[in-house]
Amino acid sequence: MNAFLLDYYSRKFSSEASGWRSFVDISHQTKVPLSAFYRRNEKDLQGLSELERKGLVEIRLYSGERGRGGEIIRARIAFDKEEIRKYVLTRVGKIPRNIAS
């Protein structure tokens, strides 16, 4: 969420362009091994895969960029989801906490 806040409020990016971070960036920030983001079987559904399943994060493939074969996978919070939007706005002080609940 801090990445979204930095992009949207400090860097003045649009909400659609804000918060997208590569798995490498997320791995460094969270201290989670990079290999954990690329597990594909059902037993290993943890981390971002579980958050994506619950609709809390979005994951998108960006083509034509540096990286593995010109494709990079990035993730961000699901700002379009009402509960997430309320939490973000409460966090930055845009709406009172009692309205956000």
Supply the CATH number for residue 48's domain: 1.10.10
pLDDT of 100 reads 41
Q: Is the pTM of this model over 0.75?
A: no
* Residue 11: inside a domain: no
- The reported pLDDT for the residue numbered 97 is 45
Count of domains in the chain? 1
Six-digit token pair at 3? 């990445």
Q: Which two tokens stand for residue 79?
A: 């700002």
Name residues whose C-beta falls within 8 Å of residue 63's C-beta, 6 or more positions apart in sequence: 70, 71
Q: Look at residue 7 and tell me if it is in a domain.
A: no
pLDDT along the chain (101 residues), means of 10: 86 90 88 76 59 87 71 87 86 57 42
Please give the structure tokens belonging to residue 56.
């809390």
Domain extent, residue 70, equals: 19-100
